[in-house]
Structure 1
Amino acid sequence: MAKRSKVAQEAFELAEPVVTKLGFDLVDCSYVKESRGMVLTLYIDKRGGIGIDDCETVSRAVDPIIDESSIDPDFFEVSSPGLTRPLETDKDFNRYAGEKADVSLYKPVEGKKSFTATIKGAEGEEATFVFDNGDELTLKFEEIAKAVRHIDF
């Protein structure tokens, strides 16, 4: 995950307890200059996905906290991280346990450098995957180049 700017990190720390209390995970925060000005964006997620009502709920709860802080964005928005957001933490993998993921590795493990399997879960710095034949594979996060939710078309 890219390192957050100082302002984004401050916003993350202010918003995370509120977002968590509302039943969501705050997965990232950005503070970037766009053509319209400085934009503060919170990225929230939950099992089953995020809808516009979820974004509105979080926005209404966090906006007053941002207003009272030293953070002064021109625009504040709340968004879903998107379907193709990489899974990077134990929370990410556990949120989508039981769903399939496309996984790429830095080096081949058991002869494979990429695979699609069901996420069993994660603990500490490891994630476990189950293949269609029932075999399980546990990997350290540092072995995973990229893991994203599998999308069937």
Structure 2
Amino acid sequence: MSKITKHTEELVTPILTKMDLELVDIVFEKEGANSFLRVYIDKAGGVDIEECSKVSEQLSEKLDEADPITEAYFLEVSSPGVERPLKKKEDFQAHVGSYVYIKSFEPISGEKEFTGTIKEFENDTIYLTYKDKTKEKEVEIPFAKVAKAHLAVTFD
């Protein structure tokens, strides 16, 4: 986590706590000539544009006061969308039964990418069921080996 994202997390957490919202992710990245500070928030049932706007206004004020970013940037506060990232252990626990995409740092059972359903999350291990051609398989993915994960959309 960069200093900018860490500082932003410290500033936004009290705002989100008051509004009963969850911090999903913070990303500070350059796209072309512009820099973007993106803050993804959520709650059960999803967030609306009004909540994003309120968080943006309050966070913008805090960022102006603290001034942790020396360059010009755009602040974006939004919902993570349908392919919400899964970053924390609590995310995996909360999404047992959900269809997900997981990429690991190293091969597990000969594969690095899996798309399937979280059957269970226990002892820092994700138990995932997935289809390999027509056969259903199970894999145990240690949380520490997850490079990237997000909810996935299925068109069954």
TM-score band by shorter chain is 0.5 to 0.7
Match of 1:89 in 2: 88
Instruction: Give the counterpart letter for 2:154 in structure 1.
Output: D
- Structure 2 CA distance for aligned equivalents of residues 31 and 146 of structure 1: 17
Distance 1:150 1:34, change over 3 A: closer
Partner of 2:150: 148
Percent identical across equivalent pairs? 35
In the alignment, structure 2 segments of 5+ residues that lack a partner are 132-136
C-alpha distance 62-17 of structure 1, shift in aligned 2 (>3 A): same
Q: Mapping of 1:1-153 within 5 angstroms?
A: 3-4=1-2, 6-33=3-30, 38-71=35-68, 74-105=73-104, 106-109=106-109, 114-120=113-119, 122=121, 125-129=124-128, 138-153=140-155
> How many Å apart are 1:96 and its aligned residue?
2.5
How far apart are the structure 2 equivalents of 1:38 and 1:107?
Answer: 34
The answer to whether the Cα contact below 8 Å between 2:108 and 2:141 also exists between their aligned partners in 1 is: no
* Deviation for aligned residue 1:78: 0.4
The offset of 1:143, in angstroms, is 3.4
CA distance in 1, matches of 2:76, 2:115: 33
Q: Please give the root-mean-square deviation of Cα atoms over the aligned residues, in Å.
A: 3.5
Q: Output the TM-score relative to the length of structure 1.
A: 0.68
Instruction: Provide closer, same or farther for how the CA distance between residues 36 and 46 of structure 1 changes in structure 2, counting only shifts above 3 A.
Output: farther
1:44 Cα offset (Å): 1.6
Counterpart amino acid of residue 127 in structure 1: I
Task: Provide the TM-score with structure 2 as the length reference.
Answer: 0.67
Give the conservation status (yes or no) of the 8 Å contact 1:37–1:74. yes
The CA deviation at 1:129 is: 3.4
Secondary structure of residue in 2 paired with 1:18: helix
Partner amino acid, structure 2, of 1:41: R
Figure out how many residues of one structure are paired with residues of the other and give that number.
Answer: 149
Task: Assess if the C-alpha contact under 8 Å between 1:30 and 1:41 holds in 2.
Answer: yes
Structure 1 Cα separation of the partners of residues 49 and 30 of structure 2: 24
Q: Which runs of 5+ in 1 are unaligned?
A: none
